[in-house]
């Protein structure tokens, strides 16, 4: 089975890094993942946090409705 591509539900800047929220394709709940500490958040592959994921993951796409650049501009 190939890991699914999910669009970020929310992207925001935390104290030390970007925080990416997604709706998990495996359990339907919201999961948070770090997105790096650079000027823009980084998506890519993550392992699901849910108990029934059995080690599966997904690829986080940051090019959906939530624009990382727009959210960063809002902080400055």
Q: Answer yes or no: is pLDDT of 26 > 90.
A: no
Q: Answer yes or no: is pLDDT of 67 > 90.
A: no
Q: CA 18 to CA 38: how far, in whole Å? A: 8
Q: What integer pLDDT is reported at residue 50 of this predicted model?
A: 85
Sorted by where each begins, the domain ranges of the chain are: 4-75
Strands (DSSP E) contained in the chain are 4-7, 10-13, 18-23, 30-34, 44-47, 57-61
Enclosing H/E stretch for 70: helix 68-75
Contact between 15 and 22 (Cβ < 8 Å): no
Phi, psi angles (nearest 5°) of residue 73:
-60, -35
CB atoms inside a 10 Å sphere around CB 21: 16
Which has more pLDDT, 54 or 5?
5
Tens digit of each residue's pLDDT (9 = 90 or more) over 31-55: 999 999 988 899 999 988 887 777 7
Q: What integer pLDDT is reported at residue 64 of this predicted model?
A: 55
Average of pLDDT values for 12-27?
90
């Amino acid at each position: 089975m190939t890991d699914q591509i999910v669009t970020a539900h929310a992207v925001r800047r935390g104290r030390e890094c970007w925080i990416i929220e997604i709706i998990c394709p495996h359990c339907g709940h919201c999961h948070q993942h770090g997105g790096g500490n650079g000027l823009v958040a980084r998506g890519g592959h993550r392992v699901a946090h849910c108990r029934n994921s059995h080690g599966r993951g997904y690829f986080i796409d940051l090019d959906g409705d939530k624009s990382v650049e727009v959210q960063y501009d809002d902080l400055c």
